[in-house]
Amino acid sequence: MNKNVGIWGAVLLLFVSQLYFISNSQKNDPVVDQIRVSQNNLDVKLSHLQTQLVAQNSVLKNDFIALEDETYLTRRMVKKLADEDKKEDVERISERISSGDFSFVAEDFRNSIVLVEVEIDFYGETETGGGSGVFIDSLGYILTAQHIFEDANLNTISVTTFDGETFTARHVGYQEDADIAILKIEGSNLPRLRLGNSDELKVGEEIIAIGNPGFFDSYDFTVTKGIVSFMNREIDGLNFLQVDAPLNSGNSGGPVLNTKGEIVGIVQFGDFFTEGIAFALTSNEIRPIMRDIISQDRARLSTI
């Protein structure tokens, strides 16, 4: 028994001695020491890089915030300049109209007006009918009057600009009760006119109308001047402007403009015309109809 204990004690002592020897040998091993130094250096460098990354992220974040602020200020400045330019244009237009000078109309707005032509069936004979229209979208949507296309072949619609350029037009849609139609040509950056707020008009306020009376061969777009004779004349449940500008059937579908150069009405005749009196459907009646027709057309095209 004592002999076995002595043997195992000797073995244990030898094992502990070996561990002590190995441990001391690794401590004194230059290769191991070098590895440890290199490891420490790598740890220091890694810590330094992490510190640099945190600092750079902070700088980038600050730069991004500064860029956002600069972009916001730039947008505000651009909007302010645009508003100032628009205000100057409105003031210039209003001043010239107030002085009785309408010469700028032919220069600024005539390219937004089109002559509309279409083949119609007139008692079994094919003849050319039509009227006027106005670009209300830079991509080629045109606002006009629907009665122009009564008994017409809708595949034969064409529009001609003041510059004499002719386009084939597509009949997009219409609202019969309001006598409003929308046409479309293929184009871009076209000179459109905006719809104004017809409720802001006052009786006696000067207006101008641009259209194509009589379908003269030269397609001269005529500008006429008048005043608002009556506001919100209700006819068949719709509100019309009554104006005294000299107009005739060729002006049908053409715009009536306020002193800002905005569309406040679309000329309509039919049963509503008496000599010296013309009626235009108000822009506030037109706006929801126009938007509905155009949105339906765009939705339909998106599915093709």
Token pair for 222: 């005529």
| Count of C-beta atoms within a 10 Å radius of residue 114 | 32
101 carries an active-site annotation: no
Which residue of the set 112, 132, 179, 283 is catalytic? 179
Which residue of the set 198, 249, 252, 283 is catalytic? 252
Which residue of the set 147, 158, 198, 283 is catalytic? 147
Contact 225, 292 (CB under 8 A): no
β partners of residue 130: 117
> Could you tell me the CA-to-CA distances from 35 to 31, 39, 99, 267, 281 in Å, in that order?
6, 6, 94, 93, 91
179 carries an active-site annotation: yes
Q: Which amino acid is at 278?
A: A
147 carries an active-site annotation: yes
Q: Which amino acid is at 142?
A: I
β partners of residue 92: none
Strand residues in the chain grouped as ranges (E) = 113-122, 125-135, 141-145, 158-161, 166-168, 170-175, 180-184, 206-211, 222-235, 238-243, 255-257, 263-268, 278-282
| Residue-wise DSSP of 75-88 | HHHHHHHHHHHHHH
Q: Which residues are catalytic?
A: 147, 179, 252
